[in-house]
Amino acid sequence: MTSLQDKLLALKQQGIKDIEKSADLKELNDIRVHLLGKKGPMTEILHGMRDLAKEERPAVGSFANKVRDNLTETLEQRKQELEAAKIEHQLAQEALDVTLPGTPVRSGAHHVIMQITETLEAIFLGMGFQVVSGYEVEEEKYNFEKLNIPKNHPARDMQDTFYINNDILMRTHMSPDEARELEKHDFSQGPLKMISPGRVYRRDTDDATHSHQFFQMEGQYIGKHVTMADLKGTLTFAMRKLFGADREIRFRPSYFPFTEPSVEVDISCFNCDGSGCEVCKQSGWIEVLGAGMTHPNVLKAAGVDPDVYGGFAFGLGIDRFAMLKYGINDIRQFYQNDVRFLRQFKQA
C-alpha cells in the first residue's frame, strides 16, 4: 500500500465517523463540502498522485474513486436518515389530540321580553303596521297634555310619575308615541298604522306583580273610516296568533283620557279554554290590554282634523304577556337577570 492509500483510508474512516455523528442537515452539508470540495482533503490527496510512478496510478486512482463513492453513499444515507428524523420530529410536534374536550362556546340569547316583542312586531308588521320608537325620557306635554290629560286632571293619578323636572319625566306609558307620530304623519300618503314597543316607568313599589319599570307596546291606526270593528278584528287576529287560534275576544267598557269609547280587552283563557282555572282565576277570561277609539282632542292636539280622520289605539303590557304565556308568577324575574331563569327561554 502506498502512503496515499493510507491517507485515503484514514480519510474514509474519519469521514464516515463524522457523517454518522452529524446532528442535522446543515452540519451534514458542511461535512460534505469539506470532504469532497475543491479545497478539501480528497482533492489534496489526488493532487499527490502526480508524484507517483506511472504504474502505481491506476490502482490508487480506482481506490480513490471507491473511497469517494463510499463517502458519497454514506452522505446520501445519512441525509435520508436526517430528513426522516426531521419529518418525524415535526409530526410529533404538530400532533393533535383529537380526543381532548373542546372549550365550551357560551352563546347568549334573546331575553324573553325581547322574544315576545319580536313576535308582536312580526304579527303587526304582517298587518301593515310600522314599528316606531320614541323617548324614555319624555316631555310632559307628550306624556300627558297632548293625550287629553291636562294638568290637575285626576287621570294623572292613574300613573305615578318619575319627574326629572317640571317639564321632563320618565314616560309612564307608550302613548306619547301616538302623539308624536300623529304630528309627523302625512295623511295625504295614506293612513297611519304604527306600533311602538318600549320601556316605561312608574313610581311603584316592586313586588311580584309590580315593577317601577316594565315594557309596553302601543298600537295606533288612524285614517279615514277606521271603526271599532277594525279594532276588534285587528286585536282578535293578533291575540289568536299569540295565544292560539281558538281565542275569543271580549270588550268591557273602561276609561282612558285619550280614547272614547274606551275598552278593556279580555281573551278567553288559553289554559282552560274558558271553563275556569287558576290562570284565569276561574272566570274563563284573561284581561290582556286597554284600547279604544282615539279621542278627538288627541287628534286636534296633533293638528289632525277629527272630522276627517279617526281610528283606534291600544296599549298592552309585554311583561304581562310573557308571564301569561310562560306561567311566570313574579315580574321581578325579568329584571334580576338570573341566568338559570333566562336560559329556560333560550331558543334553538
Binding-site annotation, residues for Mg(2+): 260
**Least distance from ligand PHE to the Cβ atom of residue 209, Å:** 15
**Least distance from ligand PHE to the Cβ atom of residue 247, Å:** 20
- Nearer to ligand PHE among residue 198 and residue 274 (C-beta): 198
Size of the site for ligand PHE (CB under 6 A): 11
Binding mask 58-77 for ligand PHE (x = CB under 6 A): --------------------
**Residue/partner pairs of 284-287 with CB below 8 Å, 24 or more apart:** 285/250, 286/324
Cα(99)–Cα(91) distance, integer angstroms: 17
Binding mask 190-229 for ligand PHE (x = CB under 6 A): ----------------------------x-----------
Restricted to residues 296-315, the positions that interact with ligand PHE (CB under 6 A) are 313-315
Q: Is 148 in the site for ligand PHE (CB under 6 A)?
A: no
Q: At what angle do helices 57-93 and 25-36 cross, to 10 degrees?
A: 170
Q: Which stretch binds ligand PHE (CB under 6 A): 114-122, 207-215, 225-233, 285-293?
A: 285-293
Set of cell numbers at residue 264 = 278593556
Among 144, 215, 256, 270, binds ligand PHE (CB under 6 A): 256
Determine contact, residues 312/221, Cβ cutoff 8 Å: yes
Among 35, 169, 291, 304, binds ligand PHE (CB under 6 A): 291
Q: Which stretch binds ligand PHE (CB under 6 A): 54-62, 70-78, 190-198, 290-298?
A: 290-298
Could you give the residue ranges of the DSSP H alpha helices within the chain?
Answer: 3-21, 25-36, 41-47, 57-93, 112-125, 140-143, 176-184, 228-243, 296-301, 318-326, 333-336, 339-342
| β 192-201/310-317 pair status | unpaired
Determine contact, residues 316/289, Cβ cutoff 8 Å: yes
Q: Which residue has the cell 463517502?
A: 71
Among 12, 68, 171, 173, binds ligand PHE (CB under 6 A): 173
- Nearer to ligand PHE among residue 15 and residue 315 (C-beta): 315
- Nearer to ligand PHE among residue 15 and residue 219 (C-beta): 219
**Least distance from ligand PHE to the Cβ atom of residue 147, Å:** 8
Q: Which of 215, 265, 260 is nearest to 235 (CA)?
A: 265
CA 137-138-140 angle, to 5 degrees, is 135
- For residue 319, what are the contacts with CB-CB under 8 A and spacing of at least 6? 113, 211, 214, 215, 331, 334
Among 196, 211, 259, 333, binds ligand PHE (CB under 6 A): 259
Q: Which residue has the cell 482533503?
A: 41
- Nearer to ligand PHE among residue 42 and residue 239 (C-beta): 239
Q: Is 115 in the site for ligand PHE (CB under 6 A)?
A: no
**Least distance from ligand PHE to the Cβ atom of residue 256, Å:** 4
Residue 38 Cα distances to 148, 158, 214, 295, angstroms: 108, 106, 91, 109
Q: Is 257 in the site for ligand PHE (CB under 6 A)?
A: no
Q: Is 129 in the site for ligand PHE (CB under 6 A)?
A: no
Q: List residues near ligand PHE by CB under 6 A.
A: 173, 175, 218, 256, 259, 290-292, 313-315
